[in-house]
Structure 1
Amino acid sequence: MKPGDPAAVRSLFEAVAPRYDQLNDLLSLGLHRLWKRQALLWLQPRPGQRLIDLCCGTGDLALLMAARVRPGGEVLGLDAAAAPLALARRRAAAQPWLPLRWQQGDALATGLPEACMDGAVMAYGLRNLADPGAGLQELRRLLRPGARAAVLDFRRPDPQAGLGEATVERFQRLMLRRVVVPTARLAGLEAQYAYLQASLDRFPTQEALCALARQAGFQHVGHRSLAGGLMGLLELVA
């Protein structure tokens, strides 16, 4: 599978959707939920805000945000794949009081009005876009001036930056090869999770990612390493 190919990425997430949440819990020992809450701590959702969860998947972050924008707010969850959105809608149906809306669409070209959102998150989506820089530009376009955004994803270590970074890269590759892929194999999803390393190899390093965010027009660009440098959180202000 070619990393960043829109049709291939969409097909991948259609296939993994039924087991996606369970595998995330298993492979991260549940820590992905903590990392997502770190993203929300930066975002600071408030009642009355209109927020967007780009590449929302099965909707776990969108549900958390929707609980915090009541009353008067709304959360839009957008994803390119239909199967994760179907699961998100079923989860939201159990909490019909939450102000949620779902839309199938492209995070590179949402079709939404400019400066229509008070905040945004994107968790494990930027790495899968055909052009991460263009994804950050569309994210910036959607935000009102001063709005916050949190972008959570795997962090690509830069082995040229020193021994510490080289060690993190070796450990990350080892974990993907020896833990993630074999575990996914048991669920019949080896090919889908083997794609992780290929997608990471083309992802910008922390420094390059921050540069892309500045080029996209964000006035504040911060980056926080999580999980010993295996994950990264971009903290942005439009």
Structure 2
Amino acid sequence: MGSFRPGDPVAVSQLFDQIAPRYDQLNDLLSLGLHRVWKRQAIAWLRPRAGQRLLDLCCGTGDLALVLAEKVRPGGLVLGLDAAAAPLAVAARRAAARPWLPLQWRQADALATGLAEGWADGAVIAYGLRNLSDPGAGLAELRRLLRAGGRAAVLDFNRPDPAAGPPLGSSPPCSCLALRHVVVPTAAAAGLRDHYAYLEESLRRFPTGADQERLARLAGFARARHRPLGGGLMGLLELLA
């Protein structure tokens, strides 16, 4: 298995097509289930309610979309969008077991969704912005899709600003160390070393929290706040259109 190039749309889609069957189990194992806690914090910022139309960009296997769909009933809709076919197939199978949920799935590029301007009341991107060829363009498309006053939450690994130093009384964030010494060896046991080694490579080119805030304001968001989660391993970008 060759290495996967961060920012290459074809390579990224191939990567997620290949890991889709084991993606959810590995997420639970590698994060000790904490990814669900971090996703709940993203949902808490979004404040989903009945009747809303929500978008899950880079939805993967659909775990966030499934939770959001429960919260927009009755009268709402959640659209899960991803560039890779295999994760969407997993998401559709999961949703088929809960046919009462207002869910739709679409294979499309997060940089050019084809949806109408202001289509969504709110949106989430979990572990997807980092994989786009241009995160700034991804934030611009996200803003275009939101109605005025709509909320968005972007959850991903945190790339700390090396010039800023750790907050007073805390330890330095160790995203790369955790990836290198815990995540990749564990994934290697499942035959997915290159797929998860990609995470550290993608993190190197990912904007810091401060840069994400700046890019979001340039994209037209009225409010952008990035805050660390999980002791600085993760970051949540809270956006208001």
Q: TM-score, normalised by structure 1?
A: 0.97
- Is 1:168 aligned with 2:169? no
- Is 1:121 aligned with 2:124? yes
2:226 is paired with a residue of what secondary structure?
strand
Q: Look up the equivalent residue of 1:214 and give its one-letter code.
A: R
* 1:2-42 CA-partner distances (Å, limit 9, x unpaired): 21100000000001000000100001000000100100000
| Pairing 1:13-92 to 2, within 5 Å after superposition | 13-92=16-95
2:163 is paired with a residue of what secondary structure?
helix
Give me the CA root mean square deviation: 1.3
Q: Look up the equivalent residue of 1:44 and give its one-letter code.
A: R
Aligned to 1:12: 15
1:58 is paired with a residue of what secondary structure?
coil
Measure, in 1, the Cα distance between the counterparts of 2:98 and 2:36.
19
- Whether the aligned pair in 2 keeps the contact of 1:63 and 1:92 (CA below 8 Å) is yes
**Which runs of 5 or more structure 1 residues have no equivalent in the other structure?**
none
- Whether the aligned pair in 2 keeps the contact of 1:168 and 1:230 (CA below 8 Å) is no
Q: TM-score, normalised by structure 2?
A: 0.96
Count of paired positions: 237
Measure, in 1, the Cα distance between the counterparts of 2:76 and 2:83.
24
- Is 1:190 aligned with 2:197? no
**Which runs of 5 or more structure 2 residues have no equivalent in the other structure?**
none
- Whether the aligned pair in 1 keeps the contact of 2:160 and 2:208 (CA below 8 Å) is yes
- Is 1:154 aligned with 2:184? no
Of 89, 98, 102, 2:101 maps to 98
* 1:210-237 CA-partner distances (Å, limit 9, x unpaired): 0000000000111221011110001101
- Whether the aligned pair in 1 keeps the contact of 2:157 and 2:203 (CA below 8 Å) is yes
2:172 is paired with a residue of what secondary structure?
helix
More helix by share: 1
Measure, in 2, the Cα distance between the counterparts of 1:182 and 1:54.
29
